[in-house]
Amino acid sequence: MNDSFLDRIIKGDTSAVARAISKVEDSGAHASELMKQIFSRTGRALVVGITGSPGAGKSSLVDKLAAFYRKQGERVGIIAVDPSSPFSGGAILGDRIRMQTLALDKGVFIRSMATRGNLGGLARASVEAVAILDAAGYDKIIVETVGVGQDEIEIAKTADVCVVVLVPGMGDDVQTLKAGIMEIGDVLVINKADREGVLRTEKELQALLTLSARTDEWQTPIVKTVAIENKGIAELAGAIEQSREFQKQTPASTDRRKAVARWRILDLLREQLVAETLGVDGASNKLERLASEVATKQRDPYSAVEELMKARSQDSEVRSQKES
Amino acid sequence: MNDSFLDRIIKGDTSAVARAISKVEDSGAHASELMKQIFSRTGRALVVGITGSPGAGKSSLVDKLAAFYRKQGERVGIIAVDPSSPFSGGAILGDRIRMQTLALDKGVFIRSMATRGNLGGLARASVEAVAILDAAGYDKIIVETVGVGQDEIEIAKTADVCVVVLVPGMGDDVQTLKAGIMEIGDVLVINKADREGVLRTEKELQALLTLSARTDEWQTPIVKTVAIENKGIAELAGAIEQSREFQKQTPASTDRRKAVARWRILDLLREQLVAETLGVDGASNKLERLASEVATKQRDPYSAVEELMKARSQDSEVRSQKES
């Protein structure tokens, strides 16, 4: 790890920041020296997670919120987590649309992140990208996820303040959905609030909030916005700020930070263990052979895993004998 | 592993099936002897994945499709993967609603599966539940997932035929979503096809299909349904059958099965490696301590992972010395 690269990141040099994010995207193991140094320089930014169903207008909301922060003279980082990309470049499409409005502004850094192949690591990489932007001095960092998947919910939970975006009258099984994602929302937004059904949705949300299992005393606010007309954005920013202030004063936020830390450690551990196992000589070829055998039912996946794990422990035994 | 338990599963004894699924939910490692035996008895059922956004009416569609198969005298298993449950029991709610219509029928087995805690494993557990139902002689197995998360998409891809459910006029960022999930769809459904905008949605889908990056020659059908009125269900079942027949005749399905096998092996490997690492004496306490230290920024997550991995390799060294 070369100090001047770290220095450039910390000074907020956007090309160094972009390169650092590519590094964590490509590999967790190789970036860990860099990330150790980055980690101690984080904690200054306000990280806002924005999550909700497809079609809720999250992107417009993120763009308008970013513009609001920019008017206050703050630097804004945006990480858009887009799991659909491996199939057809959805993230790139999203980026292009945004290029037209925000990306000419030097005070805004936008990055879309997508899954790459089988090894996962999207959650880990996106959390690390946030840390890089934090160390690089961005005042506000907005993480946008399509909020219904397991990983996506985990990513949203790592933010300081998690905003859940809903729209009026989303359909009949929305009741179940709301109950699920509402409890991760520190702030709820009803976007497209000029549509029919907004009052009903608001009442439903209020009813659900009274049933909510939150362990703290926070009164989750419901903010109505019409993102494409820039309505309600200042109110949203205010609610986000209040949630952050509340958390500073409450002991429950310690538990929350610990849960996030536990999740990050486990996610990183998982990735590094797999990388180590597949890093053993010949392991990738073995994986391909085992996958073919499992696909044709010549072998079950459980004994395939046993074979990979055995190769790993033999390898580490050989290495420890050489060392001693 | 006790043979009579396996026998009971294979005979389709529902209480044995339910217990086997609980076993794989609780722990991957302990169930692997059972699963090795189950695996060799799979491959007879048709596994249908049904995925799509919240509010698309997936549950109604699954229920009507299950009823259709029942009328043909087939036994049907339903696995509903519900990641929202850890927060408020969404899966249980879903089950209750279904109890009223399908669950009195002995030929239908319904199970909701949800995440439990930090260790993940939902994808692995749901794929194993499908294998159990397959070995137990269910003719059709329907796996329902909320289809926008990374894991959820992976689960959907493990099905023989993957059905993506959309609704007319879902909103402005639907274009991106569609492009992403469409390529995993062997069959596309426009549900709630009595609503306005159905023709426009159909045209958009057709346009996107011409851009699709599918590697085989399959002409993805678009089926219009109104699930709550039981309309279009026979057409859907027909399209599913055609897709399966097509796959039997095409070499691309070998690659697909291999990709699924590779994903299953890696998913299982990941879980077993973490279980092994956290199974080392004192590792859970260490994890809690490290999580607290990371939460208070006394330590970075990377060195925390190094410490856990070091404890693991020391433990396996000690064990291998004892053995020799």
The beta-carbon neighbor of B317 closest among A269, A294, A320 is: A320
Among candidates B146, B277, B313 on the partner chain, residue whose Cβ is nearest the Cβ of A316: B313
Contact map slice: A 257-276 vs B, CB within 8 A: 257-266, 268-270, 272-274, 276
Percentage of chain B modeled with pLDDT above 70: 79
Q: How far is A203 from chain B (nearest CA, A)?
A: 18
Of A138-147, A279-288, B311-320, give the lowest mean pLDDT range.
Answer: B311-320
Q: What ipTM goes with this model?
A: 0.82
Do residues B236 and B187 lie in contact, with contact meaning Cβ atoms separated by under 8 Å? yes
Could you confirm whether domain A43-252 is CATH 3.40.50.300?
yes
Query: Which residues from chain B sit within 8 angstroms of residue A153, using beta carbons?
Result: 83-84, 149
- Name which of A173, A212, A316 to mutate to probe chain B: the one with the most chain B Cβ atoms within 10 A of its Cβ: A173
Sign of CA dihedral B307, B309, B314, B315: positive
A55, A259, A265 member nearest B290 (Cβ): A265
Spatial CA neighbour of B306 closest among B266, B277, B282, B285: B277
The string of pLDDT tens digits covering residues B218-258 is 889 999 999 989 999 999 999 999 999 998 888 778 888 89
**Best CA proximity match to A189, nearest among A220, A155, A148, A219:** A220
- Find chain A residues with C-beta within 8 A of B308's C-beta: 265, 269
Does the pTM surpass 0.80? The reply is: no
B95 or B13, which is more confident: B13
Residues B268-279, mean pLDDT to the nearest whole number: 88
Reported as a pLDDT band with limits 50, 70 and 90, residue A162 is very high
Q: What percent of chain A has pLDDT over 70?
A: 79
pLDDT, average across residues A75-104: 59
Taking contacts as CB-CB distances below 8 angstroms, the residues of chain B near A87 are: 179-184, 213
The top-scoring range by mean pLDDT among A141-155, A168-182, A215-229 is A215-229
pLDDT tens column, A291-316: 999 998 899 999 999 999 888 877 77
Question: What's the pLDDT tens digit per position in B98-150?
Answer: 545 666 788 999 888 875 544 457 788 889 999 999 999 999 999 988 655 66
Task: Indicate the pLDDT class of residue A77, thresholds 50, 70 and 90.
Answer: very high
Let me know how many helices (H) and strands (E) chain B has, helices first: 14, 7
pLDDT tens digits, B190-207: 999 998 889 888 888 887
Contact A292 B56 (CB under 8 A): no
Domain boundaries, chain B: 3-252, 280-323
β A140-146/B187-190 pair status: unpaired
Tell me, what's the pLDDT at B29?
61
CATH level 2 (architecture), domain B3-252: 3-Layer(aba) Sandwich (3.40)
Model pLDDT for residues B77-102, shown as the tens digit of each residue: 999 886 554 333 334 444 445 545 66
**Would you tell me which residues 117-156 of chain B have a C-beta closer than 8 angstroms to some C-beta of chain A?**
118-120, 122, 146, 148-153
**Does the beta carbon of B283 lie under 8 angstroms from any beta carbon of chain A?**
no
Q: Which residues pair with residue B77 across a beta bridge?
A: B109, B141
Supply the pLDDT for residue A270.
87
In b/e form, how buried is each residue of B57-66, taking b as 16+ CB within 10 angstroms?
bbbbbbbbbb
As a whole number of angstroms, the distance between CA A34 and CA B324 comes to 40
* CB-based contact, B280 to chain A, within 8 Å: no
| Alpha-carbon gap, residue A60 to A125, rounded angstroms | 24
Give the C-alpha separation, A66 to A106, whole Å. Answer: 13
